[in-house]
Amino acid sequence: MSTVGSILYKIWGKVSNVCLAFRGLSLLSKEETTLALKPFLIHTVPASSLNLPEVFDEKDPNKKIYEAYTFPSEEIYVWKCGFKKGFISKHGSVVIDSKVFCTDWDHRGIKHRFWEKDTRPAKSVPTVIPLLSHHQNHQSAIALTGYYDFVLLLAAKLSRIKDALGEEDVAKCFITYHSFGGAYEREYLELLGFNPDHYIDSRTYKLSGEQVIFGNLGTWKPNVNEILSLKRNIENRLNISNQTPYSGNRVYISRKGRRVIENEAELIELLKEFDFTIIEDKGRSVREQIEIYRNASFIIGPHGASFANVIWCRPGTQLYELFSTSWAPDYFLYMAQINNMKYAAYRDDSHEEIKNDLFKSLCQDIYVSIPHLRASLAAILTGGRPE
């Protein structure tokens, strides 16, 4: 962000704080939120840490994509409160006795379009679970918007809440947040034992109730225990385990839209030489996506949200990510390590690196050197190099 942009952002923040305070709302910090909600704490997920290995570029073994380091994730919580004196803001913030709790990193949700009057009709339900206090901005590179964010942040949080409630009938609870607009949202609610018909978009009604049950978000790469909770709860629901027979497919996950392979036709011809199945980028149910990843022994494709599904892979499955010149985050290396998978990565160096523009970096396409990739795949698949 430029200096002018940073100054304007700070001014906007102060103006929004004043306006919200004029309406009688007090914005609590994360620390103030945790302290105020301590009497209502019903579940704590302990902090986790994960050692991530150094990763060298498959195109050039002398170039390192990632340094080895340890990623820590803070402990996370679930709270249950009486809610007769509260409501859910249109973007999901929990407000009780005029206090706005900071559960999901910051107050960007309740500050979004803060000048607009809240005209939502009131609606009361017995138990409400607000999943996220942020609005979804599909034009922004930094907002929570898609499949990765929903699965690894919201669905994982809902799994944590399910664990906290134990034997309680979670299907009776009502879920609210600002919808991502994906069919997968209802599927995940159902797979976790909640009633998808009890979902209410927070922009539609001003919800209150007898009680509110909610949790916080931790780090961008989720707590290891949180991911294992999601994996356990959904695999139990689908009655699958590592002993379930599988085909051991080699699959290429194609990608449309932003960040595609420029020479994909050539790449596909190469992959067919190694008996890869080509998975087209089209709408699939969550169950279908889980089946693809559960049945794979080797997965390759451009970095993208579909790889959130690697949490369903079996231990030992090979993940091979193709990165652009400008965008190579280690989200899925992290997931692969949690799941005891093998990992390799290729980074395109044929384009100029984009700096100081996150959105353009995210969208940069990828060119794959076919000779380099052929040599890399041959070495991995024939055991031509040590693991």
Q: What's phi and psi for 177, nearest 5 deg?
A: -175, 170
Top CATH class of 249-381 equals: alpha beta
Q: Is 70 exceeded by the pLDDT of residue 77?
A: yes
- Mean per-residue pLDDT, 169-179: 95
Q: What confidence score (pLDDT) does residue 251 get?
A: 97
Q: What's the pLDDT score for residue 46?
A: 97
| Reported confidence tier of residue 385, pLDDT bands at 50, 70, 90 | low
- CA angle at 64 for the pair 342 and 143, rounded to the nearest 5°: 75
Contacts of residue 288, Cβ cutoff 8 Å, sequence gap at least 6: none
Write out the two tokens for 210.
Answer: 């007898």
Domain borders along the chain are 18-52+75-238, 249-381
CB 34 within 8 A of CB 79: no
Residue 114's alpha-carbon distances to 5, 15, 94, 203, 304, in angstroms, are: 19, 10, 15, 13, 33
Q: Which of 79-93, 236-250, 333-347 has the lowest mean pLDDT?
A: 236-250
Query: What confidence tens digit (pLDDT) does each residue in 32-63 have?
Result: 999 999 999 999 999 999 999 999 999 998 99
pLDDT band at 74 (very low <50, low <70, confident <90, very high): very high
Q: What is the pTM of this model?
A: 0.92
Whether the Cβ atoms of residue 88 and residue 128 lie closer than 8 Å to each other: yes
Mean pLDDT, the chain, whole residue set: 91
Contact 207, 87 (CB under 8 A): yes
**Any idea which of 57-66, 78-87, 137-146 has the lowest mean pLDDT?**
137-146
Q: How confident is the model at residue 138 (pLDDT cuts 50, 70, 90)?
A: low
Are 314 and 26 in contact, with CB atoms under 8 Å apart? no
Nearest to 188 by CA among 90, 45, 91, 290: 290
More confident residue, 114 or 171: 171
Quote the CA–CA distance of 193 and 172 in Å, as a whole number. 10
Q: For residue 87, what is the DSSP state?
A: E
Q: Looking at this protein, which amino acid is placed at residue 2?
A: S
Measure Cα distances from 289 to 148, 215, 218 in Å: 13, 27, 26
Tokens of 252: 């290429």
Confidence class of residue 279 from pLDDT cuts 50, 70 and 90? Answer: very high
What's the whole-number mean pLDDT along residues 130-148? 74
Alpha-carbon gap, residue 294 to 352, rounded angstroms: 37
pLDDT at 114: 84
